[in-house]
A and B are shown apart, each in its own frame.
Chain A
Amino acid sequence: MAEAASDEALMLAYQAGAATAFDALYGRWRSRLFRYLRHQCGDAAVAEELYQDIWLRVIAARKSYEVAAKFSTWLFRIAHNRLVDHWRAMGRQAQEALASYDDHDEDCPNGLCIDPAASPDQMPERLLERRDLAERLVAAIGALPAAQREVFLLVEEGEMTLEEIANATGTGRETVKSRLRYALAKLRAELKELR
């Protein structure tokens, strides 16, 4: 019964006192949120710390929760803000990570940009080892600028639309779209080199 309910209904049920509703909600988003943080931070220990902190914020916001957006948008907005706080607290590394959020469509750091209009048909048709390729891809995701990586992760893990990502991160839809295209282009280029 709880699995059939929407995320928002589960959160409202938890607000009303149903602990099992939170269990179901947590089960839906635990892996996705953790991977988002894990790839964004690069450090497993930091990711776990942030992960716990984000869920505790969700729990603390139980009384004041209102369905103003999708639960995933709300959850990843909390995660995004917590990440920004974390980077600001880190100092030098934070400057690098935060600077990537100022990138515009014209940005092409590290000379990794390729033509965004490159067709997926240019992807390697045959991969020698799919798993090895997947590991390389994950490493390439880690090498993306933080803003582009975040958009990619929110699409993959949060299953969010461009509008929802823009809402969660406080940016414009076109900026989100541009970041995603650059991220995908870099990842495709990385995969192409592995062929």
Chain B
Amino acid sequence: MANLEPTKQRRGLVAIDGAMALIAILLIVQIWLLSAPLEAFLAGHSGPVIPAAIFSGLLFFACVTLNAFVARIDRSSKER
């Protein structure tokens, strides 16, 4: 990264910041997807449990994709 021009470096950092913010939002949704069905399940309603697990899994894979994106930017910045 030391050898990249300042604009490219700044753009890379901005992209990573955006990906991080997106992951944080997805995480908040996942927190809700965990807590609401848990509450329903403990009250006896097991209806929401499986759809919530499916969507939580989808969000997790979205997080993994964003993490790979961040790693790719990091890797491209290290090519000296």
Q: Do A and B assemble together?
A: no
Residues of A within 8 A of B (CB): none
Residues of B within 8 A of A (CB): none
